[in-house]
Amino acid sequence: MGKKELKTNAMRILEKLKIPFTYETYECDEFTDGIQTADKLGLPHEQVFKTLVTVGKSKGYYVFVIPIEKELDMKKAAASVKEKSMELLHLSELTKVTGYVRGGCTSIGMKKKFPTVIQEDAKEQEHIFVSGGKIGMQICLAPEDLKRAADAIFADVVREEQIDEHSYF
């Protein structure tokens, strides 16, 4: 018998939707951030996205998929989903709410469907990498395909680069 292929819930959903994807695996015993993951796999940082889960003032959950080098702008994020305010979901709640662990959380195939927003910069990439649903796996797919699989929208939800005022002198 051959080795059983690694299939995550996210991959099964993509196959069911007939969405083309590839995946990369890497050795990983514990959480690594997106930048370490990209470096380990030799991927361009602008193509690798992280998945963040938030809680709105209404107590609703929201998912944001943003470039690994960016930070979520809470005001823009809240406005994109018509919430008054929001905060990041506490890590202790992540698995209970999404079914995924830190470092393996993806917007595809969570326990429930939550409103999902992909940073609009993703549209500039032919393909992006997101977590494959478990630590040590990244899925590569077209941004529009991720939008379809996660039933997401595109919006600008990241912090603007801070300009260092001292750098001009």
Q: Is the pLDDT of residue 6 over 50?
A: yes
Q: Which residue has the higher pLDDT, 27 or 137?
A: 137
Q: How confident is the model at residue 1 (pLDDT cuts 50, 70, 90)?
A: very low
Residues of the chain with pLDDT > 70, as a percent, come to 90
Q: What is the pLDDT of residue 163?
A: 53
**pLDDT mean over 73-89:** 97
Burial annotation 3-30 (CB, 10 A radius, 16+ → b, else e): eeeeebbbbebbeeeebebebbeeebee
Domain range annotation of the chain: 9-159
Q: Is the pLDDT of residue 34 over 90?
A: no
Q: Are 147 and 19 in contact (CB under 8 A)?
A: no
Q: Which residues pair with 52 in a beta bridge?
A: 64
Q: Is the pLDDT of residue 17 over 60?
A: yes
Measured distance CA(132)–CA(130) in Å, rounded? 6
Q: What is the pLDDT of residue 37?
A: 86
Question: Across all residues in the chain, what is the average pLDDT?
Answer: 90
Q: Are 50 and 142 in contact (CB under 8 A)?
A: no
Q: Is the pLDDT of residue 31 over 70?
A: no
Q: Is the pLDDT of residue 2 over 50?
A: no
Measured distance CA(156)–CA(124) in Å, rounded? 13
Q: What is the pLDDT of residue 169?
A: 45
Q: Which residues pair with 155 in a beta bridge?
A: 119
Measured distance CA(88)–CA(86) in Å, rounded? 7
132 backbone dihedrals φ, ψ, rounded to 5°:
-90, 5
Place of tokens 């300009």: 163
Q: Is the pLDDT of residue 5 over 80?
A: no
What count of other Cβ atoms lies within 10 Å of the Cβ of residue 91?
A: 11
Classified by CATH at the fold level, domain 9-159 comes out as YbaK protein (3.90.960)
Measured distance CA(26)–CA(83) in Å, rounded? 37
H or E segment at 37?
Answer: helix 34-41
Identity of residue 14? L
